[in-house]
Amino acid sequence: MGQKDIVTKKYLARNDVFADAFNYFLFDGEEVIKAEDLKE
């Protein structure tokens, strides 16, 4: 099960994926979070 967590963490570390996922779940798909505005 640890391998799934690592894969998911790496996938969500991509700014475009993170922004898309959170915009979908929190804002009904409206682009509020922009990938280019994210930083670590």
DSSP secondary structure letters along 1-40: -HHHHHHHHHHHTSHHHHHHHHHHHHHTT---S-GGG---
First to last CA, the chain: 26
> What local confidence, expressed as pLDDT, does residue 1 receive?
59
pLDDT in tens, 1-40: 568 789 999 999 999 999 999 999 999 999 999 999 998 8
Determine the pLDDT at residue 5: 87
User: Which pLDDT belongs to residue 3?
Assistant: 80
